[in-house]
Amino acid sequence: METSAIEMEEHHEGENGKDLGQASDASVHNGKMEPADENPDSSDITESTRPIFIMEEAIEEPSATCCGCGEENKERGNWTCQCEMILTSIGWAAGLGQLWRFPMLCFRHGGGFLAVWLGMHFTLGFPLVLLEMTLGQFTSQGPPRAWRGVPLLHGIGFAVVVMMSILAIYYNISMAYILHYLFVGSLRDLPYMVRCDNYWNTMECNDYGLTNKTRCQEVAGFMWYDDSAGFWQNYTQCPTKSAPEEYWRNYLLQISDGLENMGAVQPGLAGFLFLSWLMVFLVLAFGIKSAGKVAYLTTTIPFVLLVFLLFRAMSLDGAVEGLIYHVTPLPYAGFNNTDLWVDAVMQVIYSLGVGCGSYTMLSSYNRFHNNTVRDAVLVVLANVLVGILCLCMSAGFLGFLSKQLNEPIESLVSSGPHLVFVVFPRVLGLLPASYLWSILFYLTLLLLAFSCQFVIVETIVTSLLDLFPAGNNGTGGLCNRRMLLHLLLTFTSCILFFLLGLPLVTQGGLYLYNLLDNFVCSGFVLLPILLLKSIGISWFYTINRWGRDLSHMLQYSCCYCCNKLVTVVCQVCWCLPVPLYLVGSLVWTSLLWPNELYFESYKYSEGHVIMGWLIVGVELAPIPIVTIINCCLACCVKGRTIIRPPTDWGPYLQQHHRGKRGGKVLSQPHIPPKPTIMVVDSTVTSL
């Protein structure tokens, strides 16, 4: 008798010392085990005479399906459905950067940038996403403990947590702005936002004839010679600021003259900031399972809304011209332009969100034998799709606005908050049913930003929880110790980040926001972290050892041969092409970094720039600090090493360990405990 594909070699410690592994080929008569005939007649075997094997522990075959059932990791928990992890990862990748930055880069470099951007997704982005996902799934740990496998670079995990903590403070300010435009701008202020006859408008406001407040004025002392008329004429200057721009600066922000004058906290923005943090807390209150359920909405709805907005944009007059303008290759921006390649590298890194440890955190809740290659492919493809949708939608709306205002499209193209809160309100105000389209647009932005923000906070909370694993294990359900500690840490983090974010909603908060945006997740932080991650796995941990770990982890996945081929190609990329991309981009970014930093016409002082570099230093400081600590421990503590991973590092569950590591014998995966079998009255039971 055979039970599954695993050979049973159990030994009975009974009276005769007989190997009961051969009992499966025996017949049972009157409570005694007798050898079976060599060629037994199958008709003689009945249900009453067939031995029944009852194991001490059931053999749990790994699930290769998309949606596994049950908790594999009782302490940390797993995703209820693997679709939740994929959707949450897509939501993290498809953030605001695809709309804030990507269309501007396509406009700057032309269609050549689009081709390089697509290629970089699969030669740079996909290997980095797969690296972070596989590391999290293999260890079932957040970034700090996952990187214990490379003691020399253990500090990478702590550097990621510091960076994400600072990012969480100012990223949620974007949600506060979007909430204002969704609930106040779209529902109440949209008709006034595009006019120049409001109390917040100045003489520089231009609403293109919508009101009588827009007038061009003669500038005294300046004249110009009109060749066609043959005489001198007075120089006339028209207002240069749009009505939505004055609404943004004078009404919402009440912006000051610089970072030196922070001014007062804006109550409206502070209220929306509190609301955004309340939303984050409610989503993460019950851990990753509640976040996974929310991902069904925050990830799928933006895709649907982007499609609606795309169709509306392309149906407008001038939309096709705007799209052609964005994707037409430029003669001066060929493939030999270094800026094009570096911008493509940085855009892929920003849009996919690699280097932040989020994929490591999200995949740490996967089941051990989950098909990570499939997840990474879906995330990268979805990110490409979102980028193309955002590009076409933005180009269509800008082409329509250019046609309506009779202005060149290059004067309208911008990026960041200016594009979303200044340029797009001008477009939406010109559309029929402008209220509806404004609500749909800012709802899309809100969901894109929200899907990123709760992943940022969960990365921080999970990393802190994993640092103190002892005593956190519970019995399952909502009211276990880890869940309660997760609730406490989430609540504390949200309150702390809200208080630290209040300076960003003051009158000078936009200057501070732009300063943080230039340094917190700049290339000087992400590029070194990604470079160390790539060489840490491929060179220090060694690519052969990591390849064996991946083969062990993916052995039960669908189409194992295809996954093996993909991982081998990625191993080659981790060793050489990816580090070359990152080193080249880091060197080029350093060479082109300006000596002076500006925001619009405002120049940051040297003290402000030094503060930005100090932030960069604080984010990267954990890497050398932890390395020094580990080196000291390796010299002082017997058994510690700085070269090889610790003996207790690896898969979270003992059943997933394989072979030997550091002289410690580990159990083989998926081999159940050997059962003890006793035959009583034609029935086999376990002792």
Q: Which domains does the chain have, with CATH numbers?
A: 90-193+259-467+483-530+588-636 (1.20.1730), 205-239 (no CATH)
**Phi/psi at 673 (nearest 5 deg)?**
-60, 145
Q: With beta carbons less than 8 A apart as the criterion, state whether 647 and 190 touch.
A: no
Does 595 carry a binding-site annotation? no
Is 473 strand, coil or helix? coil
What is residue 441's predicted lDDT score, i.e. its pLDDT?
Answer: 94
How would DSSP label each residue in 101-149? THHHHHHHHTHHHHHHHHHHIIIIIHHHHHHHHHHHHHHTS-HHHHGGG
Binding site annotation covers 93? Answer: yes
Name the residue among 53, 47, 46 with its Cα closest to residue 6: 53
pLDDT < 50 regions, the chain: 1-67, 212, 214, 218-222, 224-225, 235, 476-478, 660-687
**CA 249 to the chain's CA centroid:** 31
Q: What is the pLDDT of residue 189?
A: 86
CB of 404 within 8 A of CB of 116? no
d(CA 525, CA 640): 30
Tell me if 26 is assigned to a ligand binding site.
no
Q: Residue 463: helix, strand or coil by DSSP? A: helix
CB atoms within 10 A of CB 555: 16
**Quick check: pTM over 0.75?**
yes
Q: According to the annotation, is 353 in a ligand binding site?
A: no
DSSP 332-387: TS-TT-HHHHHHHHHHHHHHHTTTSSHHHHHHTTS-TT--HHHHHHHHHHHHHHHH
351 is in an annotated binding site: yes
